[in-house]
Structure formats: structure tokens, C-alpha cells
Amino acid sequence: MKEKSTVDHLLGGNDQFVAEEFHRHAAYYQVLAKRQSPKVLWIGCSDSRVSEDVITGSRPGTMFVHRNVANIVAFNDVNVASIIEYGVVHLKIEDIIVCGHTRCGGIAAIEDGVHENYIADWLCIASGAKETVDRIAAERNLNREQKLELLTAENVKLQIKHLRSLAMIKNMHDKSPLPRIHGWLYRVETGKIEVLVDGRESDLGYRR
């Protein structure tokens, strides 16, 4: 008998989803089929270990999602910009989460350098976080693991700074605290999420 491939397992998983979840909650999925109304825009890393719905116990329809290497918010990326615009303007999303995670290959590449052209160019966007962490690591004599963890957190904070600097978000924050922006760190070794930046706090400095 031919051994099942990973793709076969995925299709089998879909059959199981339809039988055990979709049919059991058919009314919910029929409403969802007509329109989406997610409450959160999730900007996370593409890492296969960080599935936003799984780690937050969320159902389909809860989050509008964008993922890329090292959860970066780029100024010149039409993809992420259009997702943010669609999320806050058309879906009326009031909360944006930027979530990084420990043991991130992108973060390690920021620290160690990388030779692949596109990856190196992309990770340049996070270079400001590395400059900050290099200084702190030298002052505190951090080991590599401590430095990578700090770099992960500082990268989340830097990407939030980028997000708040986008003209669309900046103009919205001139008038309102929405969208609230949150920074999270997911620990792949424990499954726990730590809050780095709490968007519910009055730290936006918007004009009332």
C-alpha cells in the first residue's frame, strides 16, 4: 500500500473538519459564508509553528491575517498596506496585533546576517531593532539566547512604530485611539503569549 503524503493527510484533515466541525456548526458557517466581520487584524510571522487561530483558540472569521518573515511592517510593501487598509477601512477592525515569537529563524538571520538576496533585503527593514539590541547586549553582557529574545521583542516594537507611522494609521490616530495596536510575543517552547505593548492603554497620544 502506498504511504500517504502530507498533502493526502491535509485533505483527510479537511474531510474530518467538515464532518466534525463544519456540519456540527452549520448555522455559524452559513452566516460566515455570506460575509466576514473579523475583530482583529493579525500581523505575524510565516513560521509554521505559529498558527494564530490555534494558539489563541479562535474560530474561522475571528481574525484578518497577514504573515511574513519576522512579522515585518514595511513602508513600501503594497501587500501589507492594502491588507491594513482593507482591514481598518472596510472591515472596521479596531484592534491590530503584531505578534513575534521565540526561536524565530528570521530574527536569527537579522542577528547573524544572511546571504540570500531577497531575504537579506527584507530583513533590512528590521535593522533598527538590531542596532538597539547590540547596544543593550553590550551594556548587559547578554548571551546569544538572551540577545535573540530581546531582538524578537524589540523587532515587534519597531514594527509597531512603522505601523503607527503609516499615513493611514497616523491620520486615524489624529482623530481617534482606533485602531488600537498591540504587541505580542509568543513563546514556542511554552505555548504562552506575553503582552509587550497593550493597545488598550492610553499611549497613542492622539488629539481629542
- In this structure, is residue 202 part of a structural domain? no
Q: Which residue has the cell 524578537?
A: 152
Burial, 164: exposed, middle or buried (Cβ in 10 Å; 0-12, 13-18, 19+)? middle
Could you tell me if 93 and 1 lie in one domain?
A: no
- In this structure, is residue 66 part of a structural domain? yes
Could you tell me if 45 and 105 lie in one domain?
A: yes
- In this structure, is residue 3 part of a structural domain? yes
pLDDT values of the chain reduced to their tens digit, one per residue, 208 residues: 678 899 999 999 999 999 999 999 999 999 999 999 999 999 999 999 999 999 999 999 999 999 999 999 998 899 999 999 999 999 999 999 999 999 999 999 999 998 899 999 999 999 999 999 999 999 999 999 999 999 999 999 999 999 999 999 999 999 999 999 999 999 999 999 999 999 986 554 433 3
Q: Which residue has the cell 539590541?
A: 133
According to DSSP, the residues that pair with 68 across neighbouring strands are 45
Residue 10: domain span: 1-35
- CA-CA distance, 197 to 195, in Å (whole number)? 6
Could you tell me if 98 and 9 lie in one domain?
A: no
- In this structure, is residue 203 part of a structural domain? no
- CA-CA distance, 149 to 89, in Å (whole number)? 34
Could you tell me if 14 and 53 lie in one domain?
A: no
141: alpha, beta or left, given left = phi > 0 and alpha = psi -120 to 50?
A: left
Could you tell me if 55 and 5 lie in one domain?
A: no
Could you tell me if 54 and 124 lie in one domain?
A: yes
Could you tell me if 51 and 134 lie in one domain?
A: yes
Is the CA virtual torsion 52, 55, 56, 57 positive or negative? positive
Neighbours of 49 (CB within 10 A): 13
- How high is the pLDDT of residue 161? 97
Could you tell me if 30 and 133 lie in one domain?
A: no
- How high is the pLDDT of residue 1? 66
User: Domain holding 172: CATH number?
Assistant: 3.40.1050.10
- In this structure, is residue 145 part of a structural domain? yes
- In this structure, is residue 2 part of a structural domain? yes
- In this structure, is residue 204 part of a structural domain? no
User: DSSP string covering the chain, please?
Assistant: -PPPPHHHHHHHHHHHHIIIIITTTHHHHHHHHH----SEEEEEE--TT--HHHHHTPPTTSEEEEEETT----TT-HHHHHHHHIIIIIS---EEEEEEETT-HHHHHHHH----HHHHHHHGGGHHHHHHHHHHHHHHT--HHHHHHHHHHHHHHHHHHHHHHSHHHHHHHTT-SPSEEEEEEE-TTT--EEEEE-TTSS-S----
Say how many CA atoms lie within 13 Å of 6 toward its Cβ. Answer: 0
- In this structure, is residue 107 part of a structural domain? yes
Could you tell me if 29 and 40 lie in one domain?
A: no
- How high is the pLDDT of residue 59? 95
Could you tell me if 59 and 135 lie in one domain?
A: yes
Q: How many domains does the chain have?
A: 2
Could you tell me if 89 and 153 lie in one domain?
A: yes
Could you tell me if 157 and 96 lie in one domain?
A: yes
